[in-house]
Amino acid sequence: MEAATCGTGRLPVLPTAQEQARLVERIRHGETTAEERLVELFHERVRILALARTRKSEVARELAQDVVMAVVIALRNGQIRDGEKLTAFVYGTARNHLNHHFRVSSRAPGEDELLPDHAVADPADPIAQFERVTLVRQALTLLNAADRKILLLTLVDGLKPGEIARRLGLSDEVVRARKSRLVKKIVEHMQTLSRT
């Protein structure tokens, strides 16, 4: 069988439209060899596409597996109307999975590196919890009402600067700058209090 060359190796040539339709029917009828053929044809193609978009090989590998599994399940359930458009269906499914991945990852909070000098408290310790709450309350009393509102909308309600800006009639830049300044001020105040 002919194969197309790609940067990571050789990919099998995609079947004709009629061969795709037959493959879809075979999968719909539960032929495991047909499912294996689908994986052989599309897994690496989808992985390469995902790698190009995400730039993360582990994420690309997982996305490719998810896409191929979703396609197999859809085909088993007869969810593709035109078997001759199998390739388009696979790439459409890949596009949807990639878009979902980026939507979810853009909402995920950023990760900060843990440094050795960061204090670690046992969350189950009620005395430590009470002390932390007391320190935060003391720090909040230092803020004016508008600053306290920005901080609470950020930390308690989980709103983004743009949403806070609209609620308070401020610009996004002002909210970001004030939030950054407020967080630093609270952290400095709590560090000062915890040292005394």
Overall average pLDDT of the 119-140 stretch: 64
Q: Are residue 24 and residue 100 in the same domain, yes or no? A: yes
The domain boundary, picked from 77, 107, 137, lies at 107
pLDDT, position 3: 41
In this prediction, residue 172 carries a pLDDT of: 83
Is 26:34 a contact under the CB 8 Å cutoff? yes
Whether residues 86 and 147 share a domain: the answer is: no
Q: What is the pLDDT of residue 147?
A: 83
Q: Is residue 116 part of a domain?
A: no
For position 42, which CATH number holds?
1.10.1740.10
- Cβ(132)–Cβ(121) under 8 Å? yes
Instruction: For residues 100 and 135, state if they share a domain.
Output: no
Residues 77 and 14 in one domain: yes
Helix (H) or strand (E) holding 8: none
Query: Looking at the structure, do residues 136 and 65 belong to the same domain, yes or no?
Result: no
pLDDT at 7 (0 to 100): 45
Q: Say if residue 100 is in the same domain as residue 133.
A: no
Label residue 153 by pLDDT band (50, 70, 90): confident
Residues 9 and 101 grouped into a single domain: yes
Asked if residue 114 belongs to a domain, the reply is no
Mean pLDDT of 54-68: 93
More confident call, 192 vs 168: 168
Which pLDDT tens digit goes with each residue over 74-123? 999 999 989 999 999 999 999 999 999 888 887 766 555 555 555 555 55
Question: In total, how many domains does the chain have?
Answer: 2
Cα 30 to its chain centre, rounded Å, is: 33
Task: Specify whether 61 is located in the same domain as 90.
Answer: yes
Residue 112 lies in a domain: no
pTM of the model: 0.52
Per the structure, the complete domain to which residue 66 belongs is given by: 3-107
Lowest mean pLDDT among 39-43, 62-66, 68-72, 191-195: 191-195
| pLDDT number for residue 156 | 72
Q: In angstroms, what CA-CA distances link 178 with 102, 140, 175, 183, 184?
A: 28, 14, 5, 9, 10
- Higher pLDDT: 65 or 178? It is 65
Domain boundary among 39, 73, 107: 107
Interval 7-39: pLDDT, tens:
446 889 999 999 999 999 999 999 999 999 999
**Does one domain contain both 28 and 93?**
yes
Q: How confident is the model at residue 1 (pLDDT cuts 50, 70, 90)?
A: very low
